[in-house]
Amino acid sequence: MECSTVDVQHTAARDNTPSRRGFLALAAAAGAATALGGLPAFTASAAPLRPTASPMLSAADAAKNQLWWGAPGSAKSMIEQGLPVGNGRLGVLASNDPADELLMITDATLWTGGLNDKLQSDGQFPYGRDDFGSLTMLAQLTVALPDHDLGNVNNYRRTLDLAQGLITTSYDISGVTYRRQIFASRPDDAVVLYFSQQGGGSYTGTVSLAGTHGESTTASSAGRYTSFGASLANGLKYGAAVTAYSGTGRVRVDGTSIAFSGCKDLTVVVSGGTNYVPDAATKYRDPSLAPERLAGTKVLSAAGHSASTLLHTHVADFRGVFGQLDIDLGTSSAAQRELDTLERLRARHRDDVPDPELEAAYLQFGRYLMISGSRGSLPMGLQGPWLDGNDPDWMADYHTDVNLQMNYWMADRAGLSDCFDAFADYCLVQLPDWTEVTQRLFNDSTNRYRNSSGKIAGWTVAISTNPYGGGGWWWHPAGNAWICQSLFEHYEYTQDRAYLKKIYPLLKGAVQFWEARLITTTVTDASGAEREVLIADSDWSPEQGPLDAKGITYAQELVWNLFGNYRTATEELARDAAYRKTVDGLRARLYLPVVSPKTGWLEEWMSPDNLGETTHRHLSPLIGLFPGDRIRPDGSTPKDILDGATALLTARGMNSFGWANAWRSLCWARLKNAEKAYQLVVNNLKPSVNGSNGSAMNLFDIYEVETGRGIFQIEANFGTPAAIVEMLVYSRPGHIELLPALPAAWAASGSVSGVGVRGGFVADLSWKNGKVTRATLKSVGGRETTVVAGGASRKVSLKPGESVTLRGLG
């Protein structure tokens, strides 16, 4: 049965880039139906508004934010060599092989497992793919072009356009230039591949869609697409569909695949999803939703438009988010610019010569991944929505002892506050189950971390969490406080009182948990005086040392921060004044860490001895330095505490896993040690070889779990960009410091615009010879702050929406 064909309009060669004002208007229109945080999962949605003018960047403007490679990715190494696209829920890795284009497609909600609410005999939650669950792949899509064997190809090049969310592959065969574009559209909720050519060529081949759980692909009754659908063992329904069309040649569904021949151009559209819904009351399912049928509806809807229309709709939406921050760290050499991305990584490591444009591109790559992986669906776990199989390490879950939080350290800093919604919404949705399970199981006799007081209130989490309210591995008592720190810091950036009201139950529940958990002990200070303090009950400093230590620094710092943030929230919302006083009293009695007389380090445990690994990857005892800021090099912190924190950070070393290097860089930036902060950024740009720590060909961060075997963990791809921003701007409510840790490599000249600032501002700044030449501050809700740079300071008072430009701060 033949499919009807639909004309495809080719993108005009001339530059139709509208004015900035015109672009912002069309981007707003295109995104109106698909605002960030709008669609919670795979749902039917209104047709998006289409831009009336081309939003495409000119070639020169696009080049600034492009990465490129001179070879395709291998189907056997997709996690290191595939290029990622995503629409916030669907994540895709593309091989860009001329003859066999392979797309590995992951839906962020396709999870096995469930609530997992029974403890094992040792007090741990089960932690397997069936009980706790795992993120899994949705589908594989293959476009086979038998006449396009790589051996016959010349001038091969593939490009990842970070600003426009677009993969472009081009190559020549027998005088014909073939070109394909791949993008994941949020407005159309579909992945699109568009094949075109210049020089009289054509395409003949097949499109094949396959599930990854043994499903059967079939043709639709009308023969317009192929699809599959099934249910996991936990009852979650899922499905996917693909269609193809061309303005020339022949396209037809042929059994379980789509065959095409003699097509001068070809558009392929694939979509899919699950019936997951973010609602604990429905057990996270919508039984009325039929994913396979909905996927078919979505691909046919998209296929009613030309490829250029789909592309323009996508780019208008994507650029509207990506364009909120711009950065210039200096000019790279002509020789560096001539290298493809892999060779550029190798040269940076081999020659140890700064490559400021590559370093800026790494930041923008992190922002690209954030936009592609965190818009209106579940938050990103250990791999985001980019898998290459159904057995990811640690189930690609949500680790609550740094990894989940690090994934979102960059969002507000780097002009992507709306992408944080996925994190906040996840926590709000999980709260009913987190609360019920905590109050039912936390004080179970098998739990080694149960409250010795026998009291229980509020909620907490396990080290690993899933999207069904479930936990895995050990309980993580302080995990609630760290989650709340991230949630509250987002409020500090946005000053959004409606958001603060929304997260208030999370804050209060965590505070109530700690009110029930804290115990009293007596300590002796340096003068020999004794006093009673409150400390955390038995816990484990992630992920090392004694399993049952009381008063670990990690928990003490997080609870101190939690209680302070709770006070601010109650004042802002004018509620719970009496309970606020109770919590203030608890905070005043909290034990805070001291420096060991043996090691000279800030103590990780309430012991002068080092009870763990000196160079351990986690910086848990330094959480008061970053992401907290109780420990600061501004004279407010006692010198012995600051020196002890610095000594401990020094002892932890400069070479670790990517995410651990990123955390170290952020800590050194807080201490204003620009060169150490920068060196750790550079360390993460080191090419990964045979699974070693470093950056893969596609810039994914590789974590060496054992000699010769590395895995992808995404948090370094966000933590490292966060460190780059932190080197340029430090902020806390009421205080902004510009260029606190500017390294020599970037000092000659540079600029950044769109940096989020705690207290409710956005900052733009430029510098020359290490000094600020101009800074503009705009209020997005903030009113008063102090701006510091180069020893000078200015007090600023603004109303929301107002801005001020400052000069002479250098």
CB proximity list for 600: less than 8 A, separation 6 or greater: 643, 644, 647
Q: Is the pLDDT of residue 45 over 90?
A: no
Confidence of residue 809 (pLDDT cuts 50, 70, 90): confident
410, β-bridge pairs: none
Which residue, among 56, 52, 49, 48, has the nearest Cα to 11 in the 3D structure?
Answer: 56
Tens-place pLDDT, residues 120-164: 999 999 999 999 999 999 999 999 999 999 999 999 999 999 999
Tens-place pLDDT, residues 426-471: 999 999 999 999 999 999 999 999 999 999 999 999 999 999 999 9
Asked if residues 221 and 351 have their Cβ atoms less than 8 Å apart, the reply is: no
Asked if residues 781 and 800 have their Cβ atoms less than 8 Å apart, the reply is: yes
Do the two domains 20-60+68-113+135-323 and 374-652 of this chain adopt the same fold? no
Tens-place pLDDT, residues 486-495: 999 999 999 9
Which residue, among 293, 89, 100, has the nearest Cα to 208 in the 3D structure?
Answer: 100
Which of 634-641's residues contact partners 24+ apart within 8 Å by CB, and which partners? 640/595, 641/593, 641/594, 641/595, 641/602
Tens-place pLDDT, residues 663-672: 999 999 999 9
Q: Is the pLDDT of residue 28 over 60?
A: no
Strands across the sheet containing 771-779 = 326-328, 749-757, 761-768, 771-779, 803-806
Per residue in 774-791, is it b (16+ CB within 10 Å) or e — as a string? bbebbbbbbeebebbbee
Tens-place pLDDT, residues 254-282: 989 999 999 999 999 999 999 999 999 99
Q: Is the pLDDT of residue 89 over 60?
A: yes
What is the token pair recorded at 213?
């759980």
Residue 74 Cα distances to 79, 173, 698, angstroms: 9, 20, 12
What is the token pair recorded at 129?
């793919």
Please spell the DSSP secondary structure of 611-628, one letter per residue: -S-TT-S--GGGTTTTT-
Torsion angle, CA of 374/379/382/387, rounded to 10 degrees?
-60
Spatial distance between the Cα atoms of 685 and 715, rounded to a whole number of angstroms: 14
12 C-beta neighbours (distance < 10 Å), count:
10
Query: Dihedral of CA 569/574/575/581: which sign?
Result: positive
Residue 497 Cα distances to 472, 504, 517, 781, angstroms: 33, 10, 29, 10
Q: What is the pLDDT at residue 526?
A: 80
Q: What is the pLDDT at residue 8?
A: 27
Q: What does DSSP assign to residue 188?
A: T
Tens-place pLDDT, residues 287-313: 999 999 999 999 999 999 999 999 999
Average pLDDT (216-242) is 97
Kindly tell me the burial class for residue 605, based on how many C-beta atoms sit within 10 Å of its own C-beta (0-12, 13-18, 19 or more): buried
Q: What does DSSP assign to residue 252?
A: E
Spatial distance between the Cα atoms of 538 and 177, rounded to a whole number of angstroms: 66
Asked if residues 268 and 244 have their Cβ atoms less than 8 Å apart, the reply is: yes
Please spell the DSSP secondary structure of 626-682, one letter per residue: TT--SS-TTTTS-HHHHHHHHHHHHHH-S---HHHHHHHHHHHHHTT-HHHHHHHHH
643 C-beta neighbours (distance < 10 Å), count:
15
261, β-bridge pairs: 250
Spatial distance between the Cα atoms of 412 and 396, rounded to a whole number of angstroms: 24
Indicate the domain borders of the chain: 20-60+68-113+135-323, 374-652, 746-806
Which residue, among 687, 56, 111, has the nearest Cα to 385 in the 3D structure?
Answer: 111
Asked if residues 482 and 463 have their Cβ atoms less than 8 Å apart, the reply is: no
714 C-beta neighbours (distance < 10 Å), count:
28
Q: What is the pLDDT at residue 13?
A: 28
CB proximity list for 335: less than 8 A, separation 6 or greater: none
Is pTM beyond 0.75? Reply is: yes
Average pLDDT (532-540) is 98
Q: What is the pLDDT at residue 40?
A: 55
Q: What does DSSP assign to residue 418?
A: G
Spatial distance between the Cα atoms of 422 and 378, rounded to a whole number of angstroms: 6
Look at 35-49, 167-181, 672-686 and tell me which has the smallest mean pLDDT: 35-49
Q: What is the pLDDT at residue 626?
A: 99
Does domain 20-60+68-113+135-323 correspond to CATH entry 2.60.450.10?
Answer: no
Q: Is the pLDDT of residue 167 over 50?
A: yes
Q: What is the pLDDT at residue 41?
A: 80
Spatial distance between the Cα atoms of 299 and 139, rounded to a whole number of angstroms: 15
Q: Is the pLDDT of residue 333 over 60?
A: yes
* Inter-helix orientation angle 658-670/674-684, to 10°: 160
CB proximity list for 526: less than 8 A, separation 6 or greater: none
Average pLDDT (59-78) is 98
| HEC secondary structure over 218-250 | EECCCCCCEEEEEECCCCCEEEEEEEEECCCCE
Q: What does DSSP assign to residue 608?
A: S
What is the token pair recorded at 461?
């989490």
Say which CATH class 746-806 falls into: mainly beta
Average pLDDT (599-604) is 98
What is the token pair recorded at 306?
């030309």
Confidence of residue 376 (pLDDT cuts 50, 70, 90): confident
Does domain 374-652 correspond to CATH entry 1.50.10.10?
Answer: yes
Kindly tell me the burial class for residue 546, based on how many C-beta atoms sit within 10 Å of its own C-beta (0-12, 13-18, 19 or more): middle
Strands across the sheet containing 398-399 = 398-399, 461-465, 471-476
